[in-house]
Amino acid sequence: METANAQQDLAFVKDIVQKTSQRIDAHAFHCVHWGLIVLIWYPVANWFGTQWQVAQAAAQPEGLWATCYVGIGIAAVILGTILSIVRGAKASMSPRLPGGNLFISRQLAAIAASNLIAGFVLSGVAPANDFIDGPNVPIIWGFVYANMAFMMGVAYSREFMISGVLIFAGCITAIFLQQYNGYILGPVMGLGMLIPGLRAEARVRQLQLADGPSDSD
């Protein structure tokens, strides 16, 4: 009898551990809105940059194109940053999956933070030292996204790993076609973060539905 009870207790504990390990909130809403932003931003910026170069070559007024090229970049970064801060603060104040696997969630946060910091540093240092031309900075961010997605795939889900490989391939293509880097990287990076991000958010919603209404509802 004691052996049977011990086995039942062990099975109960294993069930709890397994369910907890599957309850992961990757805060993939960051991937969703940044994926959408990059999907639009990079191709449009590429077009503005091309018009700017054409105006320069033809000795025509270029102020409008330069303003549009710089302006869309600033607007995209500000919008994405505001969305990340607001949505991140909301999620931290009211966890969407109580009792979830915080260890993996923290790993994912560390992966994102470390990659973004590296991206900002490289974006400033590389052009300033003529390692890469300013218009090719998106390629740096392509490699940052590829590494971040792959690492998230290792820690969390296979979809991100596949996206990391595809984004990396897009970066290599952009190196050979640098004048079209925004047209290439916009869709690859945007969809590469958007699709696995949406799937991760769908998993969170499924777990929330399985939990039933919360006390705050």
Torsion angle in degrees (nearest 10) through CA of 26, 27, 31, 34: -160
**Percent share of the chain, pLDDT over 70:** 87
Residue 148 pLDDT: 97
Domain map of the chain by residue range? Answer: 25-196
Please give the mean pLDDT across all residues of the chain. Answer: 87
Helices in the chain by DSSP H: which ranges? 2-22, 29-57, 63-93, 102-128, 137-155, 158-176, 181-211
Residue 214 pLDDT: 55
Report how far Cα 48 is from the mean position of its chain's Cα atoms: 24
Q: Taking the model in full, what pTM does it have?
A: 0.85
Strand (E) or helix (H) holding 68: helix 63-93
9 pLDDT band (50/70/90 cuts)?
Answer: very low
* Tokens at 160, concatenated: 């991100």
